[in-house]
Amino acid sequence: MAESYRRGHPGHALFILPYLTAFVVLLAFPLFWSIWLSLHKVDLFGPGRFVGLTNYTRVLADPVFLQAFRNTILFVALSVPTLVALGLFLALALNRTTRTTSFFRGLFFSSSVLSVTIVTLIWRFVFIPRDGLIPVIFEQLGLQPINFLSTSGWSLFAVGVATVWWCLGLPMMLFLAALQQIPADLYEAAALDNASPWRVLRRITLPSIARTIMLVTIIQIVMQFQLFGQAQLMTNGGPNGTSRPLVMYIYETGFIRWDVGKGAAASELLFLIILCAAMVQYIISTRKPEVRE
C-alpha cells in the first residue's frame, strides 16, 4: 500500500482522465486546429487549400484589423489600470469587518455575477439618448447632451465604463484577500515607528500585496483583450468601427464573412499579443518577487 502510494500506480492516471479529455478536446486540439486553419484558405464548405502565411499578411494589411487592434490596445490601456486602481481603492476602504463593509463588499461584487447581456442592458439604459440616466442628468444640469453610444471616441469609453462596472468585483476580492494576509503586527510595529498613513500604505501595504497587484493586472489584461460581448451589444463596434475590438473583428471575419482562415490568423495574432503581455508581466513579477516572512 505504502509502496504504491509512493511510486504511483498506472491506474491512478484514470483519475485525471476526465479532465485531460476535456482539456485535449476543448482546448489543446482547437488551439492546434486553429493554427492549421490559419495556414489554409478555408470556407467551411470544402477541404482547405494550404496558402502558407498569406492569411497573416492579409490580416496585417487589413485597415479594419489595424483599427480594431488600436481600439483594443486603447481599451486595455485604459480599463486595466482603472480596474486595478479602483479595485485596490475599494479593497482598502472595505478592509475591515463591520456590517456596512460586508454589505458594500457584497454590493460591489454583485455586478460580477451578472451575464454580459444584463450588464449591457443596464448600461444602455444609462447611456441611451434622450431617456437614459446620463442624458437626463445632463439635461438637469443644462449641459449639451452627448450621445455616448454613437459618438466616435465616446462609444469605446461607454463600453469601458460598463466593463469596469462589470469586472470590478474580482480585483476587489483578490485585493481584499491579499490585504487580510498581511500580519496585523506589521501595522502595530509601524504604529510604534510613527509611520503616517501614507507611509504605511506605500512602504508596508503595497509592497506586501505587490504580487497580487501583478496577478490582478495579468488576469485583467488577458480578460480585457478578449472584449467582445459588451461592444457587440452596446455599440455593435460603431460608429465607423471606432469601438470594434479584435475579438469582434475575428467573429465578423470568420462567422459573418466566412473567411475562416483569415479569422483564424487574426485569432492567432491575438493569442500572441495576450501571451506577450502576460509574459512581460510575469517576467517583471518574478524579477521583483514579493517577500513574505
Partner 1 sequence: MSASIEIANVTKRYGTLTVLDDISLSISPSEFVVFLGPSGCGKSTLLRMIAGLEDVTEGMISVGGQRVDTLPPGKRGVAMVFQSYALYPHMTVHENMSFGLENIGVAKKEIEKRIRLAAETLEIAHLLDRKPQKLSGGQRQRAAIGRAIVKEPKAFLFDEPLSNLDAALRGRTRLELAQLHARLGSTMIFVTHDQVEAMTLADRIVVMHNRKIEQIGTPMEIYHHPATRFVAGFVGSPAMNFIPVQRITQNENGTAVDAAGIGNLDTAIRLPTAFSSQSATLGIRAEDISVLSPGQSGVPLIAEVVERLGDRTLIYGRLSDGTKLTVEADGRNEASAGDRLEIALDASAIHLFDADGMAHHPEGE
Provide the 10 A C-beta neighbour count for residue 114.
15
Query: Which is nearer to partner 1, 128 or 186 (by Cβ)?
Result: 186
- The verdict on 81 binding partner 1 (CB under 8 A) reads no
- The verdict on 291 binding partner 1 (CB under 8 A) reads yes
Cis amide leading into 171 (omega within 30): no
Of 34-42, 126-134, 191-199, 236-244, the window that binds partner 1 (rule: CB under 8 A) is: 191-199
Taking 3-state DSSP, the helix, strand and coil percentages for the chain, each rounded to the nearest 5, stand at 75, 0, 25
What is the spatial distance between Cα 269 and Cα 277, in angstroms, rounded to a whole number?
12
- The verdict on 199 binding partner 1 (CB under 8 A) reads yes
CB of 205 to partner 1, least distance (A): 11
Single out the residue of 140, 209, 135 nearest to residue 172, CA to CA.
209
Three-class SS of residue 141? Answer: coil
Among 35, 170, 186, 222, binds partner 1 (CB under 8 A): 186
Of 19-27, 198-206, 232-240, 272-280, the window that binds partner 1 (rule: CB under 8 A) is: 198-206
Of 164-172, 200-208, 233-241, 245-253, the window that binds partner 1 (rule: CB under 8 A) is: 200-208
What's at 34, amino acid-wise? S
Among 3, 11, 46, 185, binds partner 1 (CB under 8 A): 185
The DSSP-derived string for 243-262 is: T--HHHHHHIIIIIS--HHH
User: How big is the site for partner 1, counted in residues (CB under 8 A)?
Assistant: 22
Query: Which is nearer to partner 1, 62 or 290 (by Cβ)?
Result: 290
What is the spatial distance between Cα 13 and Cα 11, in angstroms, rounded to a whole number?
5
Of 81-89, 96-104, 195-203, 230-238, the window that binds partner 1 (rule: CB under 8 A) is: 195-203
- The verdict on 70 binding partner 1 (CB under 8 A) reads no
What is the spatial distance between Cα 162 and Cα 51, in angstroms, rounded to a whole number?
40
Residues at the site binding partner 1, with contacts judged by CB under 8 A: 183, 185-186, 188-196, 199, 203-204, 207-208, 210, 290-293
